[in-house]
Amino acid sequence: MNKKLISVLTVLAVISISLLVFGMVYQNQLPKIVEEINNSSIGAILTAIITVLLLSQQSSTEEIKEKNVKVFEEKSGKFNLFIEKLWEIWDDRVVSLEELNEIIKMVSKDIVLYTKPETVDIILSKLITIAEQATPDKSSIKDTEATKIIQQNIFDIINELAKEIGLGGELRPEIRSKLNTLENKVVPFLIQKDFKKKYIENFKQTIEQNEDLDFTSIEYKNKFLWCRVKDSNIYFRVGPLEREQTQNIQFAFYVEFWGNRNFQKYRDASKGFRKDFLSGSNWWMSGNDFINFNNYEQVEKMHYELNESAENKIAQKVIELYRNWRLQGKNIEEIIEECTNIK
């Protein structure tokens, strides 16, 4: 539209200038009114041409600016998704081959198109270093030195991306050091919390694989595992699982004294703490032989080794005691049936 308008104005300007030149060459040949109109038209036409050119230039500048804003938004979005994926690896402290393959795809598809070649080269070099520390899957045992290498190179990649979009921020060495200090204070708690949840789940799965054990519910509270037997008020209780280093661990059939007098003749005692346990089922064993959630070194080691097929020593001991314990020739299920009529 602007080009057509400029063409028309240019033609008009040429005509007006031609009339002006004609009037100057052939004086008094043009009517006075035509000469005056022509003189006025020249100024108007030139002004119109300049205005159209300025508006055209402004429109072009705005289009370029709008395009640049859109490209920056897309670029920032791609970078943010990539950085979030890197932070997931940083947080896990291990990178699997599957994750590495996903990152390579993101670089090829999203990062290369929006990034300077020299920055891409640096990113790929850092990823090659990370790849050297990759493991087959997330369940692999984590190595402290490998974790440092992975996290260091992730920091470097994030810095390059920050420079690329001009954020101005940078994960400098002193910042990285403080982040690591904070991490070392928080991570033990997070590992303990995560491991406790996984260990208890592993305990339940191990128990459920043995159909002869009639536990209707299993829960962890007040530092003990409580396994309810045959929907009765008798529990196979194990703990404490959060204990002092020298403290032993107890395995026992527990039934609260005051509300369950029907089990009186099978109790370990008529008073004192032993009154809440069935006779011959109050087993105390060395705490060193079983998991202690308060022992961070033990928890950290087992945390990286724990999976569905891992042996759960507490579950195995519970299974053994449940199957072999007898009182007056009766197993726990027979005693419950006798005292409560629960079959």
What's the pLDDT tens digit per position in 150-182? 888 888 888 888 887 766 555 566 665 666 666
Q: Please compute, for residue 111, the number of CA atoms within 13 A of its CA located in the half-sphere on the CB side.
A: 27
27 vs 151: which has the higher pLDDT = 151
Tokens of 261: 């007098």
Alpha-helical (H) ranges within 113-261 are 117-131, 144-164, 173-208
pLDDT over threshold 90, residue 207: yes
For the chain, state the CA radius of gyration.
41
Tokens 């390579």 sit at which residue? 104
Task: Give the pLDDT band of residue 90 (cuts 50, 70, 90).
Answer: confident
| Sign of torsion over alpha carbons 92, 95, 97, 101 | positive
Contact assessment for residue 138 and residue 96, using Cβ atoms and an 8 Å cutoff: yes
Q: Distance (Å, rounded) from C-alpha 325 to C-alpha 310?
A: 26
Domain boundaries, the chain: 2-68, 72-189, 197-340
Phi, psi of 224 (to 5 degrees): -120, 150
Tokens of 205: 């799965």
DSSP-derived secondary structure for 16-75: HHHHHHHHHHSTT-S-HHHHHHHHHHHHHHHHHHHHHHHHHHHHHHHHHHHHHHHHHHHH
Q: Distance (Å, rounded) from C-alpha 126 to C-alpha 142?
A: 20
- According to the model, what pLDDT value does residue 291 have? 93
Instruction: Give the pLDDT mean for 283-295.
Output: 93
Tokens of 264: 């009186």
Instruction: Give the pLDDT mean for 248-273.
Output: 90
Question: How far from 52 is each of 49, 193, 197, 256, 335, CA to CA, in Å?
Answer: 5, 70, 72, 94, 101
pTM exceeds 0.75, yes or no:
no
Pick from 100, 87, 91: which is nearest to 128 by CA?
100
- According to the model, what pLDDT value does residue 26 have? 45
